[in-house]
Amino acid sequence: MRQATLLFRQPPMRNSPSLIALASLFAMVQPPLAAHASSEPKVEVFSWWTSGGEAAALDALFNVYEKQYAGVEIVNATVAGGGGSAARPVLQTRLSGGNPPDSWQTHPGWELLGQYVEPGYCEPITDLYKSDGWDKSFPKELVVNLMTKDRKIYAVLAGIHRGNVLWYNTKLLQKNGIKVDNKMSFEEFFAACDKLKAAGIPALGVGDSGIWASAQLFENTLLGVVGPKGWTDLFSGTMQWDDPKVKEAMKLFAKMQDYVNPDHSALSWDQAIHALMEGRVAFSSMGDWADGEFLKASMKEKDDFGWVSHPGTDGSFIIVADGFALAKGAPHKEAALAWLKSIGSKEAQEAFNRLKGSIPARTDVDRSKFDGYHQWSMDSFTKDKLVASCVHGEAAPAAFEQALNDGVTAFIVDKNVDNFANALVRAAREFPSTKQP
Protein backbone atom coordinates (compact mmCIF):
# COMPACT_ATOMS: atom_id res chain seq x y z
CA MET A 1 0.00 0.00 0.00
CA ARG A 2 1.19 3.48 -0.80
CA GLN A 3 1.12 5.90 2.04
CA ALA A 4 -1.57 8.52 1.92
CA THR A 5 -1.34 11.99 3.39
CA LEU A 6 -2.49 12.31 6.96
CA LEU A 7 -4.19 15.54 7.87
CA PHE A 8 -3.25 15.61 11.50
CA ARG A 9 -1.53 17.94 13.85
CA GLN A 10 0.51 16.28 16.54
CA PRO A 11 -0.37 17.14 20.11
CA PRO A 12 2.14 19.77 21.20
CA MET A 13 3.90 18.05 24.07
CA ARG A 14 5.85 20.92 25.59
CA ASN A 15 4.39 23.86 27.47
CA SER A 16 1.06 23.13 25.95
CA PRO A 17 -1.76 24.81 27.89
CA SER A 18 -4.01 21.84 27.22
CA LEU A 19 -1.48 19.46 28.64
CA ILE A 20 -0.98 21.70 31.60
CA ALA A 21 -4.72 21.44 32.09
CA LEU A 22 -4.51 17.69 31.72
CA ALA A 23 -1.58 17.57 34.09
CA SER A 24 -3.55 19.39 36.75
CA LEU A 25 -6.21 16.71 36.43
CA PHE A 26 -3.59 14.06 36.95
CA ALA A 27 -2.17 15.94 39.91
CA MET A 28 -5.38 15.08 41.73
CA VAL A 29 -4.53 11.41 41.72
CA GLN A 30 -1.72 9.60 43.52
CA PRO A 31 1.63 9.19 41.75
CA PRO A 32 2.00 5.65 40.43
CA LEU A 33 3.55 3.19 42.83
CA ALA A 34 6.26 0.93 41.48
CA ALA A 35 4.66 -2.21 40.08
CA HIS A 36 6.18 -5.54 41.04
CA ALA A 37 8.01 -7.25 38.23
CA SER A 38 7.57 -10.98 37.96
CA SER A 39 9.15 -13.63 35.79
CA GLU A 40 5.92 -15.69 35.68
CA PRO A 41 5.14 -16.68 32.08
CA LYS A 42 2.04 -14.52 31.98
CA VAL A 43 0.78 -11.38 30.27
CA GLU A 44 -2.22 -9.23 31.13
CA VAL A 45 -3.82 -7.55 28.14
CA PHE A 46 -6.43 -4.85 28.73
CA SER A 47 -9.02 -3.89 26.10
CA TRP A 48 -12.72 -3.21 25.50
CA TRP A 49 -13.15 -5.83 22.82
CA THR A 50 -16.19 -7.73 24.02
CA SER A 51 -18.78 -7.60 21.22
CA GLY A 52 -19.10 -10.78 19.12
CA GLY A 53 -16.84 -9.57 16.32
CA GLU A 54 -14.40 -7.83 18.63
CA ALA A 55 -13.97 -10.86 20.90
CA ALA A 56 -13.44 -13.17 17.93
CA ALA A 57 -10.72 -10.90 16.54
CA LEU A 58 -9.03 -10.56 19.94
CA ASP A 59 -9.05 -14.34 20.20
CA ALA A 60 -7.28 -14.54 16.86
CA LEU A 61 -4.54 -12.26 18.24
CA PHE A 62 -4.24 -14.48 21.30
CA ASN A 63 -4.04 -17.61 19.15
CA VAL A 64 -1.17 -16.21 17.13
CA TYR A 65 0.61 -15.17 20.33
CA GLU A 66 0.15 -18.62 21.87
CA LYS A 67 1.57 -20.18 18.74
CA GLN A 68 4.55 -17.84 18.65
CA TYR A 69 5.22 -17.89 22.43
CA ALA A 70 3.92 -21.20 23.72
CA GLY A 71 3.46 -21.56 27.44
CA VAL A 72 2.67 -17.97 28.34
CA GLU A 73 -0.64 -17.53 30.15
CA ILE A 74 -2.78 -14.71 28.78
CA VAL A 75 -4.94 -12.78 31.22
CA ASN A 76 -7.69 -11.26 29.10
CA ALA A 77 -8.74 -8.14 31.02
CA THR A 78 -11.70 -6.60 29.23
CA VAL A 79 -14.19 -3.97 30.28
CA ALA A 80 -17.28 -3.99 28.06
CA GLY A 81 -18.51 -0.80 26.44
CA GLY A 82 -18.02 0.31 22.86
CA GLY A 83 -15.40 2.93 22.11
CA GLY A 84 -13.77 2.19 25.46
CA SER A 85 -16.23 4.47 27.25
CA ALA A 86 -16.25 2.26 30.35
CA ALA A 87 -12.77 0.74 29.97
CA ARG A 88 -10.78 3.96 29.91
CA PRO A 89 -11.85 5.19 33.37
CA VAL A 90 -11.06 1.76 34.84
CA LEU A 91 -7.67 1.81 33.16
CA GLN A 92 -6.99 5.32 34.42
CA THR A 93 -7.68 4.20 38.00
CA ARG A 94 -5.36 1.23 37.62
CA LEU A 95 -2.59 3.35 36.12
CA SER A 96 -2.80 6.08 38.71
CA GLY A 97 -2.94 3.45 41.46
CA GLY A 98 0.28 1.80 40.27
CA ASN A 99 -1.49 -1.38 39.19
CA PRO A 100 -1.05 -1.36 35.41
CA PRO A 101 -1.93 -4.18 33.09
CA ASP A 102 1.15 -5.21 31.11
CA SER A 103 -0.28 -3.84 27.88
CA TRP A 104 -3.45 -1.97 26.96
CA GLN A 105 -5.50 -0.91 23.98
CA THR A 106 -5.19 2.74 23.05
CA HIS A 107 -5.97 5.00 20.16
CA PRO A 108 -2.92 6.83 18.89
CA GLY A 109 -2.76 10.63 18.93
CA TRP A 110 -4.00 12.57 21.94
CA GLU A 111 -5.25 9.52 23.80
CA LEU A 112 -1.89 7.73 23.75
CA LEU A 113 0.35 10.76 24.04
CA GLY A 114 -1.80 12.95 26.28
CA GLN A 115 -3.34 10.43 28.65
CA TYR A 116 -0.67 7.77 28.93
CA VAL A 117 2.72 8.95 27.71
CA GLU A 118 2.71 12.46 29.17
CA PRO A 119 1.93 11.34 32.75
CA GLY A 120 4.65 8.69 32.46
CA TYR A 121 2.60 5.48 32.34
CA CYS A 122 4.27 4.03 29.22
CA GLU A 123 7.61 2.55 28.32
CA PRO A 124 8.83 3.36 24.79
CA ILE A 125 9.07 0.46 22.36
CA THR A 126 11.26 2.18 19.77
CA ASP A 127 13.70 -0.75 19.76
CA LEU A 128 11.03 -3.10 18.40
CA TYR A 129 10.67 -0.84 15.37
CA LYS A 130 14.34 -1.47 14.63
CA SER A 131 14.66 -5.13 15.63
CA ASP A 132 11.50 -6.20 13.80
CA GLY A 133 11.87 -3.96 10.76
CA TRP A 134 8.67 -2.10 11.63
CA ASP A 135 10.25 1.19 10.64
CA LYS A 136 9.76 -0.02 7.07
CA SER A 137 6.48 -1.86 7.35
CA PHE A 138 4.22 0.57 9.25
CA PRO A 139 2.96 3.87 7.78
CA LYS A 140 5.59 6.38 8.81
CA GLU A 141 3.24 9.33 9.08
CA LEU A 142 1.02 7.56 11.57
CA VAL A 143 3.94 6.40 13.65
CA VAL A 144 5.67 9.76 13.67
CA ASN A 145 2.62 11.99 14.06
CA LEU A 146 0.47 9.94 16.38
CA MET A 147 2.71 7.66 18.41
CA THR A 148 6.05 9.39 18.89
CA LYS A 149 7.23 11.75 21.58
CA ASP A 150 10.81 13.02 21.77
CA ARG A 151 11.80 10.54 19.05
CA LYS A 152 10.55 7.60 21.09
CA ILE A 153 7.71 5.42 19.84
CA TYR A 154 5.09 4.27 22.33
CA ALA A 155 2.72 1.83 20.65
CA VAL A 156 2.25 -0.70 17.89
CA LEU A 157 -0.91 -0.69 15.78
CA ALA A 158 -2.98 -3.85 15.49
CA GLY A 159 -5.19 -2.38 12.79
CA ILE A 160 -6.78 0.70 11.28
CA HIS A 161 -10.54 1.20 11.20
CA ARG A 162 -12.38 3.53 8.86
CA GLY A 163 -14.85 5.53 10.92
CA ASN A 164 -17.02 7.07 8.20
CA VAL A 165 -18.94 4.13 6.77
CA LEU A 166 -22.68 3.93 6.15
CA TRP A 167 -23.84 0.31 6.30
CA TYR A 168 -27.11 -0.93 4.92
CA ASN A 169 -29.35 -3.96 4.72
CA THR A 170 -29.30 -4.79 1.01
CA LYS A 171 -32.56 -6.72 0.86
CA LEU A 172 -34.50 -4.14 2.83
CA LEU A 173 -33.35 -1.36 0.51
CA GLN A 174 -34.19 -3.45 -2.56
CA LYS A 175 -37.63 -4.17 -1.17
CA ASN A 176 -38.21 -0.46 -0.78
CA GLY A 177 -36.90 0.44 -4.23
CA ILE A 178 -33.77 2.17 -2.94
CA LYS A 179 -30.54 1.95 -4.88
CA VAL A 180 -27.19 2.98 -3.45
CA ASP A 181 -24.43 3.98 -5.86
CA ASN A 182 -20.75 4.08 -5.01
CA LYS A 183 -21.18 7.37 -3.20
CA MET A 184 -24.04 9.14 -1.51
CA SER A 185 -25.03 12.75 -1.04
CA PHE A 186 -27.07 14.03 1.91
CA GLU A 187 -30.01 14.61 -0.47
CA GLU A 188 -29.92 11.00 -1.64
CA PHE A 189 -29.64 9.81 1.93
CA PHE A 190 -32.65 11.80 3.12
CA ALA A 191 -34.68 10.77 0.06
CA ALA A 192 -34.06 7.13 1.03
CA CYS A 193 -34.95 7.90 4.65
CA ASP A 194 -38.26 9.44 3.57
CA LYS A 195 -39.17 6.36 1.51
CA LEU A 196 -38.42 4.11 4.46
CA LYS A 197 -40.30 6.34 6.84
CA ALA A 198 -43.35 6.19 4.57
CA ALA A 199 -43.07 2.39 4.77
CA GLY A 200 -42.97 2.57 8.58
CA ILE A 201 -39.28 1.63 8.89
CA PRO A 202 -36.84 3.61 11.04
CA ALA A 203 -34.19 4.31 8.42
CA LEU A 204 -31.22 4.96 10.64
CA GLY A 205 -30.11 2.46 13.27
CA VAL A 206 -28.36 4.01 16.24
CA GLY A 207 -27.29 2.31 19.47
CA ASP A 208 -26.20 5.15 21.69
CA SER A 209 -26.47 3.66 25.17
CA GLY A 210 -22.85 4.84 24.92
CA ILE A 211 -23.28 8.40 23.62
CA TRP A 212 -20.07 8.14 21.55
CA ALA A 213 -22.11 6.27 18.91
CA SER A 214 -24.26 9.34 18.28
CA ALA A 215 -21.17 11.54 18.52
CA GLN A 216 -19.74 9.40 15.76
CA LEU A 217 -22.82 9.99 13.61
CA PHE A 218 -22.25 13.69 14.15
CA GLU A 219 -18.50 13.40 13.47
CA ASN A 220 -19.19 11.65 10.18
CA THR A 221 -21.81 14.24 9.23
CA LEU A 222 -19.48 17.08 10.15
CA LEU A 223 -16.78 15.70 7.87
CA GLY A 224 -19.43 15.33 5.15
CA VAL A 225 -20.06 19.07 5.31
CA VAL A 226 -16.68 20.63 6.10
CA GLY A 227 -14.55 18.16 4.11
CA PRO A 228 -11.01 17.08 5.01
CA LYS A 229 -9.57 20.58 4.68
CA GLY A 230 -12.28 21.97 6.97
CA TRP A 231 -11.52 19.16 9.42
CA THR A 232 -7.90 20.21 9.69
CA ASP A 233 -8.93 23.85 9.97
CA LEU A 234 -11.31 23.04 12.81
CA PHE A 235 -8.79 21.07 14.81
CA SER A 236 -6.06 23.63 14.23
CA GLY A 237 -8.29 26.59 15.15
CA THR A 238 -8.38 28.12 11.67
CA MET A 239 -12.10 27.42 11.52
CA GLN A 240 -14.26 28.05 14.57
CA TRP A 241 -16.77 25.63 16.02
CA ASP A 242 -19.61 28.11 15.41
CA ASP A 243 -18.73 28.47 11.73
CA PRO A 244 -21.84 28.36 9.48
CA LYS A 245 -20.59 25.07 8.02
CA VAL A 246 -20.40 23.44 11.45
CA LYS A 247 -23.91 24.70 12.13
CA GLU A 248 -25.07 23.27 8.82
CA ALA A 249 -23.71 19.88 9.90
CA MET A 250 -25.55 20.24 13.21
CA LYS A 251 -28.80 20.90 11.36
CA LEU A 252 -28.33 17.81 9.22
CA PHE A 253 -27.55 15.81 12.33
CA ALA A 254 -30.76 17.16 13.91
CA LYS A 255 -32.72 16.15 10.81
CA MET A 256 -31.31 12.62 11.03
CA GLN A 257 -32.88 12.26 14.47
CA ASP A 258 -36.31 12.11 12.76
CA TYR A 259 -35.37 8.78 11.21
CA VAL A 260 -33.62 7.09 14.14
CA ASN A 261 -34.99 3.94 15.80
CA PRO A 262 -37.01 4.93 18.90
CA ASP A 263 -35.14 2.46 21.14
CA HIS A 264 -31.71 3.90 20.25
CA SER A 265 -30.73 4.88 23.80
CA ALA A 266 -31.44 1.34 25.06
CA LEU A 267 -29.14 -0.28 22.48
CA SER A 268 -25.39 -0.63 22.22
CA TRP A 269 -23.66 0.01 18.89
CA ASP A 270 -23.52 -3.70 18.07
CA GLN A 271 -27.19 -4.21 18.95
CA ALA A 272 -27.98 -1.48 16.43
CA ILE A 273 -25.94 -3.39 13.84
CA HIS A 274 -27.92 -6.52 14.70
CA ALA A 275 -31.14 -4.54 14.21
CA LEU A 276 -29.84 -3.72 10.71
CA MET A 277 -29.05 -7.38 10.01
CA GLU A 278 -32.58 -8.33 11.06
CA GLY A 279 -34.14 -5.65 8.85
CA ARG A 280 -35.53 -3.60 11.73
CA VAL A 281 -33.54 -0.57 10.53
CA ALA A 282 -32.01 0.05 7.10
CA PHE A 283 -28.81 2.07 7.63
CA SER A 284 -26.23 2.57 10.34
CA SER A 285 -23.34 5.01 10.30
CA MET A 286 -20.59 3.26 12.18
CA GLY A 287 -16.89 2.54 12.03
CA ASP A 288 -15.98 -0.69 10.32
CA TRP A 289 -15.82 -2.70 13.52
CA ALA A 290 -19.44 -3.20 12.33
CA ASP A 291 -17.96 -5.40 9.60
CA GLY A 292 -16.68 -7.67 12.38
CA GLU A 293 -20.28 -8.18 13.48
CA PHE A 294 -21.44 -8.99 9.95
CA LEU A 295 -18.60 -11.48 9.59
CA LYS A 296 -19.33 -13.10 12.94
CA ALA A 297 -22.97 -13.51 11.90
CA SER A 298 -21.88 -15.01 8.53
CA MET A 299 -23.68 -12.26 6.62
CA LYS A 300 -22.74 -12.09 2.94
CA GLU A 301 -21.18 -8.93 1.52
CA LYS A 302 -23.39 -7.21 -1.04
CA ASP A 303 -26.17 -9.86 -0.80
CA ASP A 304 -27.00 -9.27 2.86
CA PHE A 305 -25.26 -6.03 3.68
CA GLY A 306 -23.58 -3.24 1.77
CA TRP A 307 -21.69 -0.06 2.52
CA VAL A 308 -20.82 3.35 1.16
CA SER A 309 -18.94 6.29 2.62
CA HIS A 310 -21.09 8.25 5.07
CA PRO A 311 -22.92 10.94 3.02
CA GLY A 312 -20.58 13.63 1.73
CA THR A 313 -17.40 11.88 2.92
CA ASP A 314 -16.37 10.01 -0.21
CA GLY A 315 -12.63 10.63 -0.68
CA SER A 316 -11.91 10.89 3.07
CA PHE A 317 -10.95 8.22 5.57
CA ILE A 318 -11.50 8.89 9.27
CA ILE A 319 -8.77 6.91 10.99
CA VAL A 320 -9.74 5.02 14.13
CA ALA A 321 -6.60 3.03 14.79
CA ASP A 322 -6.08 0.50 17.57
CA GLY A 323 -2.70 0.41 19.23
CA PHE A 324 -1.22 -1.38 22.20
CA ALA A 325 1.20 0.21 24.64
CA LEU A 326 3.68 -1.18 27.17
CA ALA A 327 3.27 -0.26 30.83
CA LYS A 328 6.15 1.40 32.59
CA GLY A 329 7.05 -1.16 35.25
CA ALA A 330 5.02 -3.83 33.45
CA PRO A 331 4.57 -6.74 35.87
CA HIS A 332 5.54 -9.20 33.11
CA LYS A 333 7.73 -7.15 30.84
CA GLU A 334 9.27 -9.93 28.81
CA ALA A 335 5.95 -11.53 27.96
CA ALA A 336 4.49 -8.08 27.27
CA LEU A 337 7.25 -7.26 24.81
CA ALA A 338 6.59 -10.58 23.11
CA TRP A 339 2.88 -9.68 22.94
CA LEU A 340 3.71 -6.40 21.19
CA LYS A 341 6.10 -8.15 18.81
CA SER A 342 3.37 -10.62 18.03
CA ILE A 343 0.80 -7.90 17.27
CA GLY A 344 3.24 -6.34 14.85
CA SER A 345 3.87 -9.61 13.00
CA LYS A 346 2.33 -10.17 9.58
CA GLU A 347 0.67 -13.32 10.80
CA ALA A 348 -1.19 -11.53 13.59
CA GLN A 349 -2.12 -8.55 11.43
CA GLU A 350 -3.65 -10.83 8.81
CA ALA A 351 -5.49 -13.05 11.28
CA PHE A 352 -6.84 -10.22 13.42
CA ASN A 353 -7.94 -7.70 10.81
CA ARG A 354 -9.77 -10.23 8.66
CA LEU A 355 -12.17 -10.67 11.60
CA LYS A 356 -12.16 -7.17 13.08
CA GLY A 357 -13.16 -5.20 9.97
CA SER A 358 -10.10 -2.99 10.16
CA ILE A 359 -7.22 -3.10 7.70
CA PRO A 360 -3.73 -4.19 8.75
CA ALA A 361 -1.53 -1.31 9.76
CA ARG A 362 1.42 -3.06 8.12
CA THR A 363 1.66 -2.13 4.49
CA ASP A 364 3.28 -5.41 3.37
CA VAL A 365 0.52 -7.93 4.05
CA ASP A 366 -0.97 -10.28 1.49
CA ARG A 367 -4.02 -8.39 0.19
CA SER A 368 -5.43 -11.50 -1.45
CA LYS A 369 -6.25 -12.88 1.98
CA PHE A 370 -8.88 -10.18 2.51
CA ASP A 371 -12.52 -9.87 1.44
CA GLY A 372 -14.25 -7.22 -0.63
CA TYR A 373 -14.90 -4.78 2.19
CA HIS A 374 -11.27 -4.87 3.28
CA GLN A 375 -10.08 -4.36 -0.29
CA TRP A 376 -12.35 -1.32 -0.54
CA SER A 377 -11.04 0.11 2.72
CA MET A 378 -7.39 -0.56 1.79
CA ASP A 379 -7.94 1.30 -1.48
CA SER A 380 -9.56 4.17 0.38
CA PHE A 381 -6.67 4.33 2.85
CA THR A 382 -4.23 4.48 -0.03
CA LYS A 383 -5.87 7.16 -2.12
CA ASP A 384 -8.12 9.19 0.19
CA LYS A 385 -7.45 12.04 2.57
CA LEU A 386 -6.76 10.67 6.03
CA VAL A 387 -8.13 12.52 9.03
CA ALA A 388 -7.92 11.66 12.72
CA SER A 389 -11.07 10.91 14.72
CA CYS A 390 -12.06 13.17 17.58
CA VAL A 391 -14.69 10.81 18.98
CA HIS A 392 -12.07 8.08 19.26
CA GLY A 393 -9.48 10.15 21.05
CA GLU A 394 -7.01 10.97 18.30
CA ALA A 395 -7.61 14.54 17.13
CA ALA A 396 -8.17 16.42 20.39
CA PRO A 397 -7.58 16.17 24.14
CA ALA A 398 -9.87 13.98 26.23
CA ALA A 399 -11.63 17.01 27.68
CA PHE A 400 -12.66 18.22 24.23
CA GLU A 401 -13.86 14.73 23.33
CA GLN A 402 -15.94 14.80 26.52
CA ALA A 403 -17.34 18.24 25.64
CA LEU A 404 -18.35 16.89 22.24
CA ASN A 405 -20.11 13.91 23.85
CA ASP A 406 -21.89 16.19 26.32
CA GLY A 407 -22.87 18.58 23.53
CA VAL A 408 -24.32 15.70 21.52
CA THR A 409 -26.28 14.41 24.54
CA ALA A 410 -27.89 17.81 25.05
CA PHE A 411 -28.43 18.45 21.33
CA ILE A 412 -30.34 15.23 20.73
CA VAL A 413 -32.88 16.53 23.23
CA ASP A 414 -33.01 20.29 22.59
CA LYS A 415 -31.77 20.48 18.96
CA ASN A 416 -30.44 23.91 19.79
CA VAL A 417 -27.70 24.62 17.24
CA ASP A 418 -26.41 27.74 18.97
CA ASN A 419 -26.05 26.02 22.32
CA PHE A 420 -24.21 23.11 20.75
CA ALA A 421 -21.89 25.34 18.72
CA ASN A 422 -21.18 27.64 21.68
CA ALA A 423 -20.37 24.69 23.93
CA LEU A 424 -17.78 23.51 21.43
CA VAL A 425 -16.35 27.01 21.01
CA ARG A 426 -15.94 27.20 24.79
CA ALA A 427 -14.36 23.77 24.97
CA ALA A 428 -11.90 24.62 22.20
CA ARG A 429 -11.03 27.85 24.01
CA GLU A 430 -10.32 25.99 27.20
CA PHE A 431 -8.01 23.64 25.36
CA PRO A 432 -6.35 26.05 22.99
CA SER A 433 -3.87 23.57 21.61
CA THR A 434 -6.65 22.17 19.43
CA LYS A 435 -6.58 25.51 17.68
CA GLN A 436 -2.94 26.28 17.34
CA PRO A 437 -2.00 27.17 13.78
The residues binding ligand BGC (CB under 6 A) are 48, 54, 82-84, 161, 289, 320, 322, 392
DSSP 3-state of 301: strand
Nearest distance, CB of residue 322 and ligand BGC, angstroms: 5
Residue 178 CA to chain centroid, in angstroms? Answer: 30
- Judged by beta carbon, residue 147 or residue 239, the one nearer ligand BGC is 147
Nearest distance, CB of residue 23 and ligand BGC, angstroms: 24
Residue 101 to residue 319: CA distance in whole angstroms: 26
Residue 319 to residue 396: CA distance in whole angstroms: 13
Report the phi/psi class of residue 298: left, alpha or beta, with left for phi > 0 and alpha for psi in -120 to 50: left
Residue 28 to residue 8: CA distance in whole angstroms: 30
- Using Cβ positions, the residue closest to ligand BGC within the complex turns out to be 289
Residue 288 to residue 277: CA distance in whole angstroms: 15
- Judged by beta carbon, residue 80 or residue 180, the one nearer ligand BGC is 80
Q: Where are the beta strands (DSSP E) in 58-116?
A: 73-78, 103-106
If we measure between CA atoms, which residue out of 422, 417, 386, 431 comes closest to residue 161? 386
Nearest distance, CB of residue 139 and ligand BGC, angstroms: 17
Nearest distance, CB of residue 213 and ligand BGC, angstroms: 9
If we measure between CA atoms, which residue out of 161, 160, 159 comes closest to residue 343? 159
- Judged by beta carbon, residue 49 or residue 259, the one nearer ligand BGC is 49
Q: For residues 340-365, b (16+ Cβ closer than 10 Å) or e, as one string? A: bbbbbbeebbbbbbbbbbbbbbbbeb
Nearest distance, CB of residue 272 and ligand BGC, angstroms: 12
CA 286, 308, 228 angle in degrees (round to 5)? 75
Nearest distance, CB of residue 169 and ligand BGC, angstroms: 20
- Judged by beta carbon, residue 81 or residue 311, the one nearer ligand BGC is 81
Residue 124 to residue 128: CA distance in whole angstroms: 9
Nearest distance, CB of residue 168 and ligand BGC, angstroms: 19
- Judged by beta carbon, residue 246 or residue 318, the one nearer ligand BGC is 318
- Judged by beta carbon, residue 138 or residue 289, the one nearer ligand BGC is 289
> Residue 40: beta bridge partners?
none
- Judged by beta carbon, residue 105 or residue 145, the one nearer ligand BGC is 105
- Judged by beta carbon, residue 146 or residue 196, the one nearer ligand BGC is 146
**One-letter amino acid identity for 249?**
A
Nearest distance, CB of residue 50 and ligand BGC, angstroms: 8
